[in-house]
Amino acid sequence: MRSIKILDCTLRDGGYVNDWNFGLGTIESIVSRLNKAGIDIVEIGFLDERRKYDENRSILPDTNSIKPIFKNLAIKDALILAMIDFGTCGIESLSDRKDSVVDGIRVIFKKKDCIEALKFCAAIKKKGYKIFLQPVSVTGYTDSEMTTLLKQANEICPYGIYIVDTYGLMHKKEMMHYFNLMDKILSEDISIGYHSHNNFQLAYANCTELMAVESGRELLVDGSLYGMGKSAGNACTELLALHINEYYGGQYIIDQLLEAIDVDIMKEYAKQYWGYSLKHFMAAAKDCHPEYVSNLLSKRTLSVKSINEIIAKIEPENKLIFDRDILETLYQNYQNNMIDDSDAYTKLGAELSKRNILIIAPGKSIELHANNIQTFIQEDNPVVITINFINDDYQPDYVFMGNAKRYSQFFNKIYRHDLNAKVVCTSNVSESNKKIDYRFNFNSLIIADELIRDNPVLMLIKILVKMKFKKAYIAGFDGYVPDDAQNYPEEYIQFLFCNDDVVLRNEAVKKVLTETGKDIKLEFLTPSLYL
């Protein structure tokens, strides 16, 4: 029967979740239970000479530092491995295999470092270790490049070489393509491994697909307890073991794995979630480094549609290597989508000129002082403009959206049949199947201070100044305090993020209002920290 082995990488890949700070007792417990469960290969963690020795962490500076973990453990059957990210640990940090508790070394390397990394792997093998080649993100290799790598691997004759799906991009078709390529070119005694991530919820499914392949070659499948691992997590060791037991005559003791999860892993999960998520799906769907998505989501100004449009502009050769400068340029270009807004200034200005203007921002005070605001509206009959939100207590004549994310979040409320409000947006907000009545250049409205660069109230005030308005009323422009619950109406809090640098933000807004006050008088109907 074909040999299928499980490699558990909880202490290595799982370490991305908690900075490898499992605690010595937990490390020993996990290794012991994996061994008792019959797991074939246990990866003890990273070797990284940049890190100081810490007995509680599974990232260690050299092979000698691993010995204390096994002081009270009797590991008979499982192979013990460590991983090196090429360039972070030199050959001098590895003792000879005969003096080490480690049986083998996995070396992960980027395509650009391939030649030097293979030399490094050959040197490790000479020290007596089983060597495993881990090319980062094999989807970034052309068939020609992969063929060259495999032929070079044959010369080293490692224990195994892996299909490494670093960013969880693979479906069955791509995975089988690389497996078949490897199976065709590699020497028969070299194992093929598969390391997955769960961006598409396919880590376990892909592993079982590989297990079903009719091949005489040994297969290694990576898993981690409860899928603990970087970003979307990994295939679950317990699921892989159960599947092999049921279909391939495996003898893994599942209860030992479940005990390890219950005792050692769930406490980590309670502190920090890992697994399938929107951002990791988005990254995998666009075949890109997840940091591109994380960075754009953190800006809190873009809808998912906008994020996908920006990522689509990244050149293929840059997608899997995160480049902050490239992303920032694309983001700024997207936000600065230039349009001819002269007609918008003329027409909207004419419409607003007939009555006083009341700007309603989403501050908590519009709830606390609702009676005063409603009295003003009834008595003065102003043009009501709400900023980046819709509140059912106030019927707006216009809705101003300077943020693509808010436009998306309030889309259904903006276009409900009984609202009849005109929609005004900045040019970074893209029109969908519903009409935007007036659009203004985002780039001409941004604030010089980065802290409040795209503050929508200040952007609208800039528009009014350009239209030569000399006065406007304003409510709900309260200023920031650290607690979002005190900043915004309850229904709006779920959309919010701004609870950092509150003092600096308030001072920045006050400065702009002081400067703007030379051109337009703002009368506040509600209390504000900006006064």
Outline where 106-156 has alpha helix (H). 114-126, 143-156
Give the separation between CA 297 and CA 228, rounded to whole angstroms.
23
pLDDT category at 280 given cuts 50, 70, 90 is confident
Count the domains in the chain.
Answer: 3
CA proximity to 236, closest of 3, 79, 6: 6
- Within 10 angstroms of residue 321's Cβ, the number of other Cβ atoms is 16
CB-CB contact of 113 with 85 (8 Å): no
pLDDT category at 488 given cuts 50, 70, 90 is low
Structural tokens at position 517: 């006050």
Mean pLDDT along residues 133-156: 96
Last residue of a domain, one of 335, 360, 381: 335
Give the separation between CA 469 and CA 150, rounded to whole angstroms.
70
Last residue of a domain, one of 315, 335, 355: 335
State percent of the chain over pLDDT 90: 72
Q: For residue 531, is it within any domain? A: no
pTM of full prediction above 0.85: no
Last residue of a domain, one of 238, 270, 302: 270
Quote the pLDDT of residue 446: 84
Report how far Cα 33 is from the mean position of its chain's Cα atoms.
31
Long-range contacts, stretch 478-486, CB < 8 angstroms, 24+ apart: 478/361, 478/363, 478/364, 478/365, 478/526, 478/527, 478/528, 478/529, 479/363, 479/506, 479/509, 479/528, 479/529, 479/530, 480/505, 480/506, 480/529, 481/529, 486/364
The verdict on 15 and 111 lying in the same domain is yes
Please give the span between the terminal C-alpha atoms of the chain, in angstroms, as a whole number.
Answer: 79
Q: For residue 293, is it within any domain? A: yes
The verdict on 317 and 432 lying in the same domain is no
Q: For residue 455, is it within any domain? A: yes
Supply the Cα-derived Rg of the chain in whole angstroms.
29
The verdict on 261 and 285 lying in the same domain is no
61: amino acid identity, one letter:
P
Q: For residue 306, is it within any domain? A: yes
Mean pLDDT along residues 458-465: 96
CB-CB contact of 524 with 475 (8 Å): yes
Quote the pLDDT of residue 419: 83
Of the given ranges (99-103, 445-449, 492-496), which has the lowest mean pLDDT? Answer: 492-496
Residue 265's domain spans which residues?
4-270
The verdict on 293 and 205 lying in the same domain is no
Q: For residue 530, is it within any domain? A: no
500 pLDDT above the threshold of 80: no
pLDDT category at 448 given cuts 50, 70, 90 is confident
Look-up of token digits 């994020």: 307
Q: For residue 179, is it within any domain? A: yes
Average pLDDT of the chain?
A: 91
Quote the pLDDT of residue 338: 67
Mean pLDDT along residues 35-58: 97
Partners of 521 in beta bridges:
471
Going by their DSSP bridges, the two strands 438-440 and 422-426 should be labelled as parallel
The verdict on 146 and 285 lying in the same domain is no
Q: For 388-445, what is each residue's pLDDT tens digit?
A: 888 888 999 999 998 888 888 888 888 887 788 999 999 888 777 788 999 998 888 8
DSSP, collapsed to helix, strand or coil, labels residue 87 as coil
494 pLDDT above the threshold of 50: no
143 pLDDT above the threshold of 60: yes
The verdict on 237 and 287 lying in the same domain is no
Quote the pLDDT of residue 106: 98
The verdict on 242 and 328 lying in the same domain is no
121 pLDDT above the threshold of 70: yes
Q: For residue 529, is it within any domain? A: no
Q: Residue 352 is inside which H or E element, if any?
A: helix 342-352
Residue 210 neighbours by CB under 8 Å, 6+ apart: 175, 179, 194, 219, 221
Give the separation between CA 515 and CA 125, rounded to whole angstroms.
69
Give the separation between CA 383 and CA 316, rounded to whole angstroms.
49
Give the separation between CA 103 and CA 80, rounded to whole angstroms.
5
Q: In the chain, what's the furthest Cα-to-Cα distance?
A: 90
Q: For 229-242, what is each residue's pLDDT tens digit?
A: 988 999 999 999 99
Residue 411 neighbours by CB under 8 Å, 6+ apart: 432, 434
462 pLDDT above the threshold of 90: yes
Q: For 325-379, what is each residue's pLDDT tens digit?
A: 999 999 888 776 667 899 999 999 999 999 999 999 988 899 999 999 999 999 9
The verdict on 415 and 496 lying in the same domain is yes
pLDDT category at 497 given cuts 50, 70, 90 is very low
Q: For residue 61, is it within any domain? A: yes
The verdict on 325 and 457 lying in the same domain is no
The verdict on 320 and 424 lying in the same domain is no
Q: Beta strands of 189-258 (E only): which ranges?
A: 191-195, 219-223
Torsion of CA 252, 228, 141, 6, to 10 degrees: -10
Quote the pLDDT of residue 396: 94
The verdict on 181 and 48 lying in the same domain is yes
Quote the pLDDT of residue 483: 62
Residue 179 neighbours by CB under 8 Å, 6+ apart: 163, 192, 194, 210, 213
Q: For 78-119, what is each residue's pLDDT tens digit?
A: 999 999 999 999 999 999 999 999 999 999 999 999 999 999
CB-CB contact of 110 with 83 (8 Å): no
Mean pLDDT along residues 188-199: 96
CB-CB contact of 82 with 57 (8 Å): no
The verdict on 216 and 300 lying in the same domain is no
Mean pLDDT along residues 172-190: 96
CB-CB contact of 54 with 18 (8 Å): no
Burial 438-468 (b: 16+ CB within 10 A, else e): bbbbbeebbbebeebebbbbbbbbbbbeebe
**Entry field: residues in the chain:** 531
Mean pLDDT along residues 312-327: 91
